[in-house]
Amino acid sequence: MGTTIKHALFVVLAVGSLLLVWPFAFEWMAAGGNILNLPSFFIDSYRGNPASAFLTIDILVAWIVFMIWVVGDAAKIGLGAKWGWLFLALSFLGTCFALPLYLVTRERFLARTGQAA
């Protein structure tokens, strides 16, 4: 798969995931959930059923790892920590949104600066 096709696929997946997941967040908020209360959000999701508990733990750990990694990685490759902080902020919209967009940005930056991806 060519880089351009991969990047386009990542962007489509990022935007598509945002459009797919946020209606559920709006539904949860309409039922009284507070999106600014992250413990409540994750606890409600965890308590749904065993599958939702599995997915909640899985994405929570992936999100924490992404938040720890992204700022340092952006600074390390020369993109700049401010870009890492931007993608960390975007991850509050969804890790499924921020991660593929960061990977595209990272790969394009590395290619543009002549660094190996």
Kindly list the domain boundaries of the chain, sorted by start residue: 3-112
Residues in the chain: 117
Mean pLDDT of the chain: 94
Rounded-to-integer distance, Cα 16 and Cα 109, Å: 23
What is the percent of the chain with per-residue pLDDT over 70, rounded to a whole number? 98
* 117 CA to centre of own chain: 20
For the segment 50-58, the average pLDDT, to the nearest whole number, is 96
Taking residue 99's Cβ as centre, other Cβ atoms within 10 Å add up to 22
**pLDDT attached to residue 91:** 97
- For the segment 62-84, what is each residue's pLDDT rounded down to a tens digit? 999 999 999 999 999 999 999 99
Please give the model's pTM, rounded to 2 decimal places: 0.90
**pLDDT attached to residue 2:** 72
